[in-house]
Amino acid sequence: MANFIARDITMPNTAKHYDVAVIGGGIVGSATAYFLLKEDPQLRVCVIEPDPAYEFASSLRSSGGCRVQFTGEENIAMSLFSIDFIEHFQETMSTETQAAHVDWVQGGYLFIVPPEHAAQLERNVAFQRSHGCAVDLLSRAELKERFPAMHVDDLGVGAHSPLDGWCDPYGLLWGFRRKAVDLGADYIAARAAAAEADTVKARSIVLDNGETVAAQAFVNAAGAWSAPVAELFGMKLPISPVRRYEHYFTPGSHVGPLPYVKDMSRLAFRSEGNGYSGGLVDGHAARGYCFEVDHDYFENIVWPAVAHRFPAFEAAKCHRTWSGLYEVNELDGNPVIGAWSSGLSNLYTVAGFSGHGMMHAPAAGRGIAELVVHGSYRTIDLSRLGYRRVEDNAPYPEQGIL
């Protein structure tokens, strides 16, 4: 750790100096700042975040889902840690002046598949159970018994994880941010606009307000903007912004409380108050920073899918549609977490969660903090999610439903 405290004499004199500069102050960047200061309270940490209102940040557009149903060991381990952390968020993260509410709802997740995918889902569940996850397989008859409003004739099997659920992403983001500030982090309301580096290390970043921030380590946590931020340092990240809609809708007749239901077509929705919140992810949507809402999307794409699964949604009414960006890792849909070891070794990335960044922020933030402070992972080994696989063009994808 001592090498991060020592100030480098090659840094510009007029710069603000920090040990670690986190670029991007959404849920992932704020969790990273918090865990850096937990690992080493003496660290000087800043978070560069141009948009204190988070108008476009993915963090505040998330639907809050947290689940253990993955097939990658790292994703499962991150989920187990993060869900436990989120459940106990208020105890851990409240400050002396402000309670940290995340409104955790243990509503469960339900993955449903047609008969031809039953064997794969059964394998996934066996793997998840062997890694300590609570997941029950439900036959078609059991699905009907448990969720009478559901059309099950075309289904093979379901996997229900009762300890999963959802939380309020606003509370999660601000809880992390306030606690990080409480522990000493500086949030700087500006955009990283340029970077200065020598052949082996990043030295400083220039902000769009003209200031320079010099640091011993830099963490790229800019979500859907992480590729252009990497580019400032000369690093290529295959992470693209992909628009995704979320809808709040109500059925024509009673459906009852539902877990977070997901199927192979990437239909995903859950109970929210008196209605339901969710959408159908179009993985082939055009890449780009587009937030425009297509108000026909619900009627043309989502409504037929929900009405097929729950006939009470034949008369569904969509009350609100909003859009946000997934930060999609085009290589394999999993995040890039780690140092750029073959380039600027003090430039770290924690981005590319491809739609799972809210739920994995606590574990990923802790992991990257361990790597920055200790040079190695101390809890969950996230090495396989490192940038090396991008350089080697060696995808490490999930086998489960995305």
Ligand X SMILES: Cc1cc2nc3c(=O)[nH]c(=O)nc-3n(C[C@H](O)[C@H](O)[C@H](O)COP(=O)(O)OP(=O)(O)OC[C@H]3O[C@@H](n4cnc5c(N)ncnc54)[C@H](O)[C@@H]3O)c2cc1C
Binding site for ligand X (CB under 6 A): 23-29, 48-51, 54, 57-59, 61-65, 191-192, 221-225, 229, 244, 246, 324-327, 351, 353, 355-359
Least separation in angstroms between residue 140's CB and ligand X is 27
Nearest to 236 by CA among 333, 121, 351, 141: 351
Q: Among residues 29 and 259, whose Cβ is nearest to ligand X? A: 29
Instruction: Return the DSSP state at 298.
Output: I
Least separation in angstroms between residue 257's CB and ligand X is 17
The distance from CA 321 to its chain's CA centroid, rounded to whole angstroms, is 21
Q: Among residues 62 and 152, whose Cβ is nearest to ligand X? A: 62
Least separation in angstroms between residue 394's CB and ligand X is 23
Q: Among residues 127 and 326, whose Cβ is nearest to ligand X? A: 326
Q: Among residues 152 and 328, whose Cβ is nearest to ligand X? A: 328
- At 192, which amino acid appears? A
Question: What residue has token string 């899918």?
Answer: 305
| First-to-final CA distance of the chain | 38
Least separation in angstroms between residue 243's CB and ligand X is 8
Q: Among residues 37 and 281, whose Cβ is nearest to ligand X? A: 281
Least separation in angstroms between residue 350's CB and ligand X is 7
Q: Among residues 62 and 124, whose Cβ is nearest to ligand X? A: 62
Least separation in angstroms between residue 30's CB and ligand X is 7
Least separation in angstroms between residue 205's CB and ligand X is 8
Strand partners, 287: 242
**Left, alpha or beta for 359 (phi > 0: left; psi -120 to 50: alpha)?**
alpha
Least separation in angstroms between residue 119's CB and ligand X is 27
Is residue 347 within 8 Å of 202, Cβ to Cβ? yes
Q: Among residues 112 and 152, whose Cβ is nearest to ligand X? A: 112
Strand partners, 192: 207
Nearest to 280 by CA among 303, 310, 313: 303
- At 73, which amino acid appears? E
Tokens of 394: 């060696």
In whole angstroms, what is the distance from residue 252 CA to residue 315 CA? 4
Q: What share of the chain is helix, strand, coil (3-state, %, to 5)?
A: 35, 25, 40
Instruction: Return the DSSP state at 219.
Output: E
Q: Among residues 33 and 221, whose Cβ is nearest to ligand X? A: 221
In whole angstroms, what is the distance from residue 48 CA to residue 28 CA? 13
